[in-house]
Amino acid sequence: MLRPTKPPPAASQLVYSTDTGRTCPSCRRAVAQCICKQAGALPAGDGVVRVQLQTKGRGGKAVTVVTGASVLNGQPLDADALAAIGKQLKAACGTGGTVKDGVIEVQGDHVQRVMADLAARGFVVKRAGG
């Protein structure tokens, strides 16, 4: 029976260095000098915001999901502006939610209210899903 062998040292990834401290697994630089987060933190969209209702993987609870809101009138929005929009949407619906990886999640079935609010802000909005 063959025993599994360890990967060669060149294939292993450095996680901590005594010279720089923690390192980024992608660019292998110190976390303070990481260029991965600067090079496009939010995914680029086509200018259309899509709003859908999801229940899968959430214990049957409905969640309104907004994707593509990282671009307004051809201009990319930064993470802080997207978080502010998410906060205003949650306040308008009177529920909780979160903003993760360029996706706004609002708890509950608020698709129509979210679509109307985003259209009033100047976004091009489409309903996605069923």
Interval 17-47: pLDDT, tens: 566 677 777 777 777 777 776 554 445 567 7
- Give me the chain's average pLDDT, please: 80
pLDDT at 69: 84
Domain boundaries, the chain: 14-40, 48-127
CATH of region 48-127: 3.30.780.10
Residue 31 in 3-state DSSP? helix
Lowest-confidence region among 22-26, 46-50, 76-80, 104-108: 22-26
Residue-wise DSSP of 71-128: EETTEEPPHHHHHHHHHHHHHHHTS-EEEETTEEEEEBS-HHHHHHHHHHTT-EEEE-
pLDDT at 4: 64
Distance of alpha carbon 13 from the chain centroid: 26
Lowest-confidence region among 5-9, 18-22, 33-37, 106-110: 5-9
pTM summary value? 0.65
Asked whether the predicted pLDDT for residue 7 surpasses 70, the reply is no
